[in-house]
A and B are shown apart, each in its own frame.
Chain A
Amino acid sequence: MNFVFFAMFLILLIPIYEAWQDEYIWQKMLAFASIATKTSIMILFISVLRDDWMIGVVGVIILSVGNAALMLLAHVIRRMNEL
């Protein structure tokens, strides 16, 4: 299980690197979308790993709410490009 978690951590590094090196904002948004999903899946994984129901609930809430934040931000950034 620990090995699987470590592999997830290594994959998480890829979008972080991408967000750091790319200056175009939509590429950063893609990296953010990827990171938001991956971290919440990792939180769910931790909850099963430790058999902790409370962390699992938090993981599911973050999974749905993180995406909502992303959509709000996407709309504001789209408005910025107007005019």
Chain B
Amino acid sequence: MINALSYSLFSIGIVFWLWGTLPLIGHRSVLYKLHSLSVADTLGSMSIVVGLLLRIPREWPLLILALISLAIWNTVLGYVLAYCSSHGGGDV
């Protein structure tokens, strides 16, 4: 039961990864790619980590830490990358 659930979470995560990463190829703007990357990639990674958590609940503090750092860092990183790539000529 738990095994099937974690497998389905893995496959959802991999589908999300594929969805977020495939737009990288192709000639779209940086912001468009960043959007799909930050939303779909983070969701995919989080679903994979939850799948791992179901499989080995013993390591929960570590995996919860991974979930939190994924959620926070990827959001901040998306913001920073968008700011830096669009303000290329600006001062500060």
Contact = CB atoms under 8 A, between A and B. Distances in A.
Indicate whether A and B are direct neighbours in the complex (CB within 8 Å): yes
A44 B66 contact: yes
Interface of B is mostly: helix
- Using C-beta atoms within 8 Å of the partner chain, give the interface range for chain A: 35 or more
Given A11-B18, A34-B41, A48-B59, A74 B74 contact: no
A41 B69 CA distance: 12
Interface string A71-82: 100110110011
- Using C-beta atoms within 8 Å of the partner chain, give the interface range for chain B: 35 or more
Contact of A29 (B25, B49, B81): B81
Contacts of B77: 33, 67, 70-71
A56 B62 contact: yes
Interface of A: 4, 7-8, 11, 14-15, 17-18, 24, 26-27, 29-31, 33-34, 37-38, 41, 44-45, 47-48, 51, 53, 56-57, 59-60, 63-64, 67-68, 70-71, 74-75, 77-78, 81-82
